Structure 1
Amino acid sequence: MKILLAVDGSPFTQKMLAYLAAHDELVLQGRNEYTALTVQSALPPRARAALSKEMVDEYYAEESAQVLEPVRKFLAQSGITLACRSEVGNAGEIIAKIAESEKFDLIIMGTHGHGSLGKLVMGSVSTKVLANCSVPVMLIR
Protein backbone atom coordinates (compact mmCIF):
# COMPACT_ATOMS: atom_id res chain seq x y z
CA MET A 1 0.00 0.00 0.00
CA LYS A 2 1.36 3.43 -0.96
CA ILE A 3 0.69 5.94 1.82
CA LEU A 4 1.22 9.69 1.53
CA LEU A 5 1.82 11.48 4.83
CA ALA A 6 1.05 15.17 4.39
CA VAL A 7 3.08 16.99 7.04
CA ASP A 8 3.61 20.63 7.96
CA GLY A 9 5.49 20.51 11.27
CA SER A 10 2.52 21.78 13.27
CA PRO A 11 1.11 20.21 16.43
CA PHE A 12 -1.42 18.51 14.13
CA THR A 13 1.41 16.69 12.35
CA GLN A 14 2.64 15.55 15.76
CA LYS A 15 -0.84 14.27 16.61
CA MET A 16 -0.95 12.38 13.31
CA LEU A 17 2.41 10.76 14.00
CA ALA A 18 1.36 9.86 17.56
CA TYR A 19 -1.79 8.26 16.15
CA LEU A 20 0.25 6.21 13.71
CA ALA A 21 2.60 5.08 16.45
CA ALA A 22 -0.32 4.05 18.67
CA HIS A 23 -2.28 2.27 15.93
CA ASP A 24 0.28 0.22 14.09
CA GLU A 25 -2.21 -2.61 13.68
CA LEU A 26 -4.33 -0.29 11.51
CA VAL A 27 -1.74 1.49 9.41
CA LEU A 28 1.87 0.42 9.90
CA GLN A 29 1.70 -3.13 8.59
CA GLY A 30 5.31 -3.60 7.55
CA ARG A 31 5.00 -3.75 3.78
CA ASN A 32 3.63 -0.29 3.18
CA GLU A 33 5.50 2.34 1.18
CA TYR A 34 5.50 5.71 2.92
CA THR A 35 6.19 9.15 1.51
CA ALA A 36 6.23 12.26 3.71
CA LEU A 37 5.28 15.37 1.75
CA THR A 38 5.54 18.96 2.90
CA VAL A 39 4.40 21.90 0.80
CA GLN A 40 5.92 25.33 1.39
CA SER A 41 3.98 28.47 0.55
CA ALA A 42 5.60 30.39 -2.26
CA LEU A 43 7.48 33.53 -1.30
CA PRO A 44 5.83 36.72 -2.52
CA PRO A 45 6.99 37.72 -6.02
CA ARG A 46 8.77 40.85 -4.77
CA ALA A 47 10.74 38.86 -2.22
CA ARG A 48 11.74 36.29 -4.84
CA ALA A 49 12.78 39.08 -7.22
CA ALA A 50 15.02 40.64 -4.54
CA LEU A 51 16.81 37.35 -3.84
CA SER A 52 18.95 35.11 -5.99
CA LYS A 53 17.54 31.79 -7.16
CA GLU A 54 20.09 30.04 -4.96
CA MET A 55 18.92 31.95 -1.88
CA VAL A 56 15.28 31.15 -2.60
CA ASP A 57 16.07 27.47 -3.19
CA GLU A 58 18.12 27.36 0.02
CA TYR A 59 15.25 28.94 1.96
CA TYR A 60 12.77 26.33 0.69
CA ALA A 61 15.23 23.50 1.40
CA GLU A 62 15.83 24.67 4.97
CA GLU A 63 12.11 25.11 5.68
CA SER A 64 11.35 21.66 4.28
CA ALA A 65 14.15 20.01 6.26
CA GLN A 66 12.80 21.52 9.49
CA VAL A 67 9.49 19.77 8.81
CA LEU A 68 10.67 16.49 7.30
CA GLU A 69 13.66 15.56 9.46
CA PRO A 70 11.70 15.15 12.73
CA VAL A 71 9.10 13.06 10.87
CA ARG A 72 11.80 10.83 9.41
CA LYS A 73 13.47 10.39 12.82
CA PHE A 74 10.20 9.67 14.60
CA LEU A 75 9.12 7.01 12.12
CA ALA A 76 12.60 5.49 12.02
CA GLN A 77 12.17 4.67 15.72
CA SER A 78 9.27 2.43 14.66
CA GLY A 79 11.38 0.84 11.95
CA ILE A 80 9.65 2.71 9.15
CA THR A 81 11.67 4.00 6.24
CA LEU A 82 10.05 6.71 4.20
CA ALA A 83 10.77 8.84 1.20
CA CYS A 84 10.73 12.57 1.91
CA ARG A 85 9.55 15.12 -0.58
CA SER A 86 8.92 18.85 -0.62
CA GLU A 87 7.08 21.10 -3.04
CA VAL A 88 6.24 24.79 -3.25
CA GLY A 89 2.75 26.16 -3.88
CA ASN A 90 -0.81 25.67 -2.70
CA ALA A 91 -0.68 22.80 -0.20
CA GLY A 92 -4.17 21.39 -0.73
CA GLU A 93 -3.93 21.39 -4.49
CA ILE A 94 -0.41 19.92 -4.58
CA ILE A 95 -1.18 17.16 -2.09
CA ALA A 96 -4.25 16.13 -4.09
CA LYS A 97 -2.40 16.30 -7.42
CA ILE A 98 0.53 14.18 -6.21
CA ALA A 99 -1.75 11.64 -4.53
CA GLU A 100 -3.74 11.21 -7.76
CA SER A 101 -0.91 11.31 -10.29
CA GLU A 102 1.39 8.98 -8.34
CA LYS A 103 -1.42 6.57 -7.49
CA PHE A 104 -1.22 6.66 -3.71
CA ASP A 105 -3.68 4.36 -1.93
CA LEU A 106 -4.16 6.57 1.13
CA ILE A 107 -3.41 10.09 2.35
CA ILE A 108 -2.94 10.60 6.08
CA MET A 109 -2.90 14.13 7.43
CA GLY A 110 -3.75 16.10 10.53
CA THR A 111 -6.59 18.57 10.72
CA HIS A 112 -8.15 20.91 13.23
CA GLY A 113 -11.28 22.91 13.92
CA HIS A 114 -11.67 26.67 13.81
CA GLY A 115 -13.29 28.88 16.43
CA SER A 116 -16.60 27.87 18.02
CA LEU A 117 -17.36 25.54 15.13
CA GLY A 118 -14.27 23.48 15.93
CA LYS A 119 -16.03 20.14 15.75
CA LEU A 120 -17.75 20.91 12.45
CA VAL A 121 -15.14 22.62 10.30
CA MET A 122 -11.84 21.22 9.00
CA GLY A 123 -8.72 23.13 8.08
CA SER A 124 -8.59 24.68 4.61
CA VAL A 125 -5.80 22.37 3.38
CA SER A 126 -7.66 19.19 4.30
CA THR A 127 -10.86 20.60 2.80
CA LYS A 128 -9.05 21.27 -0.50
CA VAL A 129 -7.52 17.79 -0.52
CA LEU A 130 -10.93 16.20 0.02
CA ALA A 131 -12.49 18.36 -2.70
CA ASN A 132 -9.78 17.75 -5.31
CA CYS A 133 -8.86 14.12 -4.80
CA SER A 134 -10.48 10.69 -5.11
CA VAL A 135 -7.77 8.99 -3.01
CA PRO A 136 -9.06 8.02 0.46
CA VAL A 137 -8.00 10.48 3.15
CA MET A 138 -7.54 9.68 6.84
CA LEU A 139 -7.79 12.88 8.87
CA ILE A 140 -6.29 12.80 12.36
CA ARG A 141 -7.66 15.31 14.77
Structure 2
Amino acid sequence: MHNVLVPFDGSASAKRAVQYLVDFSKVYPDIQVHLLNVQREPNLYGNYVPASMLDDLRKGAIQHAEKVNREAALLLEQAGISHQSHVAVGDVVTEVVAAVKRLGCNTVVMGTRGMGSLGNLVMGSVATRVVHDVPVPVLLVK
Protein backbone atom coordinates (compact mmCIF):
# COMPACT_ATOMS: atom_id res chain seq x y z
CA MET A 1 0.00 0.00 0.00
CA HIS A 2 1.15 3.52 -0.76
CA ASN A 3 0.90 5.53 2.46
CA VAL A 4 1.32 9.12 1.29
CA LEU A 5 1.66 12.36 3.21
CA VAL A 6 0.47 15.51 1.43
CA PRO A 7 1.48 18.78 3.08
CA PHE A 8 -1.45 20.92 1.94
CA ASP A 9 -1.67 24.69 2.25
CA GLY A 10 -4.46 25.39 -0.23
CA SER A 11 -2.14 26.87 -2.86
CA ALA A 12 -2.52 26.10 -6.57
CA SER A 13 0.63 23.98 -6.40
CA ALA A 14 -0.71 21.97 -3.46
CA LYS A 15 -3.99 21.43 -5.32
CA ARG A 16 -2.04 20.07 -8.29
CA ALA A 17 -0.30 17.62 -5.94
CA VAL A 18 -3.71 16.35 -4.77
CA GLN A 19 -4.89 16.08 -8.38
CA TYR A 20 -1.74 14.10 -9.17
CA LEU A 21 -2.74 11.60 -6.49
CA VAL A 22 -6.29 11.43 -7.82
CA ASP A 23 -4.87 10.54 -11.25
CA PHE A 24 -2.31 8.17 -9.69
CA SER A 25 -5.05 6.30 -7.85
CA LYS A 26 -6.67 5.34 -11.15
CA VAL A 27 -3.60 3.22 -11.95
CA TYR A 28 -2.65 2.30 -8.36
CA PRO A 29 -5.87 2.23 -6.33
CA ASP A 30 -4.23 0.89 -3.14
CA ILE A 31 -3.41 4.28 -1.67
CA GLN A 32 -3.88 5.94 1.72
CA VAL A 33 -3.47 9.72 1.82
CA HIS A 34 -2.72 11.80 4.90
CA LEU A 35 -3.41 15.51 4.39
CA LEU A 36 -1.42 17.77 6.69
CA ASN A 37 -1.95 21.50 7.09
CA VAL A 38 0.53 23.22 9.36
CA GLN A 39 -0.14 26.69 10.69
CA ARG A 40 2.75 28.71 12.04
CA GLU A 41 2.82 29.73 15.69
CA PRO A 42 1.37 33.22 16.16
CA ASN A 43 3.93 36.03 16.28
CA LEU A 44 3.32 38.02 19.42
CA TYR A 45 5.09 41.12 20.56
CA GLY A 46 5.12 42.63 24.02
CA ASN A 47 5.92 41.60 27.53
CA TYR A 48 2.67 39.95 28.50
CA VAL A 49 0.08 38.00 26.59
CA PRO A 50 -2.68 36.27 28.54
CA ALA A 51 -2.81 32.50 28.22
CA SER A 52 -6.42 32.76 27.10
CA MET A 53 -5.35 34.89 24.13
CA LEU A 54 -2.72 32.32 23.14
CA ASP A 55 -5.32 29.56 23.38
CA ASP A 56 -7.72 31.55 21.20
CA LEU A 57 -5.03 32.17 18.58
CA ARG A 58 -4.09 28.48 18.48
CA LYS A 59 -7.76 27.44 18.23
CA GLY A 60 -8.23 29.88 15.37
CA ALA A 61 -5.17 28.52 13.59
CA ILE A 62 -6.41 24.95 13.97
CA GLN A 63 -9.88 25.88 12.68
CA HIS A 64 -8.29 27.56 9.67
CA ALA A 65 -6.12 24.49 9.01
CA GLU A 66 -9.19 22.25 9.10
CA LYS A 67 -10.99 24.54 6.66
CA VAL A 68 -8.04 24.48 4.24
CA ASN A 69 -7.84 20.67 4.39
CA ARG A 70 -11.55 20.28 3.63
CA GLU A 71 -11.06 21.32 0.02
CA ALA A 72 -8.45 18.62 -0.61
CA ALA A 73 -10.42 16.06 1.40
CA LEU A 74 -13.44 16.66 -0.81
CA LEU A 75 -11.41 15.98 -3.96
CA LEU A 76 -10.02 12.77 -2.48
CA GLU A 77 -13.45 11.69 -1.26
CA GLN A 78 -15.00 12.26 -4.69
CA ALA A 79 -12.24 10.10 -6.21
CA GLY A 80 -12.87 7.34 -3.66
CA ILE A 81 -9.41 7.66 -2.13
CA SER A 82 -8.94 6.64 1.49
CA HIS A 83 -7.68 9.65 3.42
CA GLN A 84 -7.26 11.28 6.80
CA SER A 85 -6.91 14.93 7.61
CA HIS A 86 -4.34 16.20 10.14
CA VAL A 87 -3.56 19.67 11.43
CA ALA A 88 -0.69 21.08 13.43
CA VAL A 89 0.66 24.39 14.69
CA GLY A 90 4.40 24.87 14.50
CA ASP A 91 7.28 24.80 12.04
CA VAL A 92 6.11 23.31 8.73
CA VAL A 93 9.17 21.17 8.01
CA THR A 94 9.44 19.88 11.58
CA GLU A 95 5.76 18.90 11.56
CA VAL A 96 6.05 17.21 8.15
CA VAL A 97 9.02 15.13 9.31
CA ALA A 98 7.21 14.17 12.52
CA ALA A 99 4.04 13.23 10.60
CA VAL A 100 5.97 11.00 8.17
CA LYS A 101 7.38 9.07 11.12
CA ARG A 102 4.21 9.05 13.23
CA LEU A 103 1.91 7.99 10.39
CA GLY A 104 4.32 5.51 8.79
CA CYS A 105 4.23 7.28 5.42
CA ASN A 106 6.44 5.87 2.69
CA THR A 107 6.17 8.88 0.34
CA VAL A 108 5.58 12.62 0.50
CA VAL A 109 3.79 14.31 -2.41
CA MET A 110 3.77 18.08 -2.36
CA GLY A 111 3.64 21.17 -4.51
CA THR A 112 6.77 23.15 -5.28
CA ARG A 113 5.36 26.56 -4.49
CA GLY A 114 3.16 27.16 -1.49
CA MET A 115 1.83 30.17 0.32
CA GLY A 116 5.11 30.83 2.07
CA SER A 117 6.51 34.23 2.90
CA LEU A 118 9.40 36.27 1.55
CA GLY A 119 11.58 34.41 4.07
CA ASN A 120 11.47 31.39 1.79
CA LEU A 121 13.61 33.26 -0.73
CA VAL A 122 16.33 33.78 1.83
CA MET A 123 16.21 30.53 3.80
CA GLY A 124 15.23 28.13 1.02
CA SER A 125 11.83 26.79 0.19
CA VAL A 126 9.83 24.47 2.40
CA ALA A 127 9.89 21.88 -0.39
CA THR A 128 13.69 21.92 -0.50
CA ARG A 129 13.94 21.54 3.26
CA VAL A 130 11.42 18.68 3.24
CA VAL A 131 13.41 16.86 0.53
CA HIS A 132 16.51 17.06 2.71
CA ASP A 133 14.90 16.26 6.07
CA VAL A 134 12.37 13.45 5.54
CA PRO A 135 13.61 9.85 5.45
CA VAL A 136 11.32 8.82 2.55
CA PRO A 137 11.07 9.73 -1.14
CA VAL A 138 9.50 13.09 -1.97
CA LEU A 139 7.60 13.73 -5.18
CA LEU A 140 7.37 17.43 -6.06
CA VAL A 141 4.50 18.46 -8.32
CA LYS A 142 4.83 21.70 -10.33
Question: Is the shorter-chain TM-score for this pair beyond 0.5, marking a shared fold?
Answer: yes
Q: Is the 8 A contact 1:72 1:81 kept in 2?
A: no
TM alignment of 1:45-124, pairs within 5 A: 45-46=44-45, 49=49, 52-112=53-113, 124=125
| Partner residue in 1 for 2:120 | none
User: Structure 1 counterpart of 2:38, which letter?
Assistant: V
**Greater shift in the superposed pair: 1-10 or 42-51:** 42-51
**Greater shift in the superposed pair: 126-135 or 55-64:** 55-64
Structure 2 gap ranges (5+): 115-123
Cα drift, residue 101 of structure 1 = 4.1
Alpha carbon RMSD of aligned pairs, Å? 2.3
Structure 1 gap ranges (5+): 114-122
User: What does the per-residue CA deviation read over 1:55-89, in whole Å, with 9 as the maximum and x for residues that have no partner?
Assistant: 12321122112210001111111011311101111
User: Structure 1 counterpart of 2:61, which letter?
Assistant: Y
Identical residues among aligned pairs (%): 22
Q: Does 1:139 align with 2:137?
A: no
Q: 1:97 to 1:3 in 2, by over 3 A?
A: same
Whole-angstrom CA distance in 2 between matches of 1:10 and 1:38: 11
User: Structure 2 counterpart of 1:100, which letter?
Assistant: K
Cα drift, residue 97 of structure 1 = 2.5
Whole-angstrom CA distance in 2 between matches of 1:102 and 1:20: 18
Whole-angstrom CA distance in 2 between matches of 1:30 and 1:37: 21
| Partner residue in 2 for 1:17 | 18
User: What does the per-residue CA deviation read over 1:39-70, in whole Å, with 9 as the maximum and x for residues that have no partner?
Assistant: 10110133892552441232112211221000
| Partner residue in 1 for 2:35 | 36
How many residues end up aligned between the 2 structures?
130
User: Structure 1 counterpart of 2:133, which letter?
Assistant: N
Q: 1:33 to 1:16 in 2, by over 3 A?
A: same
Q: 1:13 to 1:129 in 2, by over 3 A?
A: same
